[in-house]
Amino acid sequence: MTSTLHKPTPDPTPPAPAEEGRSARSLVDAVFRAREIAIGGALALLILGTWLATPGFLDDQGVKDLLLNSSILVLLAVGQSVVVMTRNIDLSVGSVVGLTAFACGHFVSGTDHSALTVVLLGIALGTLCGLVSGALVSFGRVPALVVTLGMLYIIQGIDHAWAHGEQINAANVPDGVLSLGSGSVLGVPYLPLISAAVLAATGYFLRTYRSGRELYAIGSSPDAARLAGIPVRRRILAAYAFSGAVAGFAGALWLARFGTVVADAANGWELTVVSAVVVGGVAITGGTGSVWGAALGALLLTTIGSALVVLKVDSFWQQAITGVLLLAAITTDRVVQVRTTSALRKRSRR
């Protein structure tokens, strides 16, 4: 009688490292996509509630004011988010806006320079400030908090010493520059369209290009990124240069938007920008988040401010609400990070 030998059934093939990496990325992406959807839902509820209480909140002028008020903050949040993704921070963006706005206004005052000239000047000055901060952080190995806080005070000092208490008046600014801040296309102002274009281009770059994805890798683990051959110092320098360029661009748009500029324009905005980025889901510890979430965070904070004004609530509550949202966002990031790490470990064991 012939006996049949039964071979043991082989164990399932373990997933390839590439498959595990894709699985991890899909899990993290799903978590933060849900976070962005939640922020968008909160924004929609806030707008709806304010509109029900004050129907004039969403009339043509109300919507236009809301878009204009949020456009510059959205720009700054986009630039700041790129820096925060690398596990760093830039506290000098508000002072850069003030310096570039005053410098551009002083340069074009009483002349017929075009809006393009003002924008290029603002970007150049902002990039220079960003390169100084980035060089000290990346090559000088000085903590980002110390460097950018020092740059904040240095730039403010230069701005005040230059201004001597004077201001740039809208009457002396060329009409071509002012039209950039007041003009529109099919009823939509230029400024939110510009902010949306910068947002879309930055989001596409971070998602598509290798150098953009490397910023996330640096934020997740700078040492691992260095071992993987990523030029960490150059990427951090580029992130600060981009943040400075965006802040300089925002300064030029500030001049176009308001016309009248003083030395302390955008004073204190750096904390508002950081709050918008963190509330929008960009982890303060780096490595996660998106510029889309940062933009939603900026829109949420701006809408809260506008809603409180319409509802005639003391402006103090805007700062209190911002603080609560900031603490809630940091706590949420920590909880999500712990749970995501635990889920990834379980998948890896399987």
Look at residue 31 and tell me whether its pLDDT is greater than 80: no
Q: Does the pLDDT of residue 22 top 80, yes or no?
A: no
Give the pLDDT confidence score for residue 28 in this predicted structure. 54
Q: pLDDT tens across 288-299, in order?
A: 888 998 999 899
The DSSP result for 70-108, as a single string, is HHHHHHHHHHHHHHHTTT---TTHHHHHHHHHHHHHHHH
> Would you state the structure tokens that stand for residue 88, as one six-digit string?
């760093």
Element (H or E) spanning 350, and its range?
Answer: none
Tens-place pLDDT, residues 165-185? 788 888 888 888 889 888 888
Q: How confident is the model at residue 136 (pLDDT cuts 50, 70, 90)?
A: very high
The mean pLDDT of the chain is 83
Q: Mean pLDDT: which of 31-40, 176-185, 192-201, 267-276 is highest?
A: 192-201
Q: pLDDT tens across 78-133, in order?
A: 999 999 999 999 999 999 999 999 999 989 887 888 889 999 999 999 999 999 99
Instruction: Give me the pLDDT at residue 57, please.
Output: 79
CATH topology of domain 56-349: ABC transporter involved in vitamin B12 uptake, BtuC (1.10.3470)
Domain borders along the chain are 56-349
Reported as half-sphere exposure (CB side, CA atoms, 13 A), residue 65 has a value of: 13
pTM, 2 dp: 0.84
pLDDT band at 64 (very low <50, low <70, confident <90, very high): confident
pLDDT at residue 27, rounded to an integer: 52
Residue 205 has pLDDT above 70, yes or no: yes
With a cut of 50, say whether residue 13 has pLDDT above it. no
Distances (CA, A) of 127 to 51, 147, 203, 243: 40, 16, 20, 8
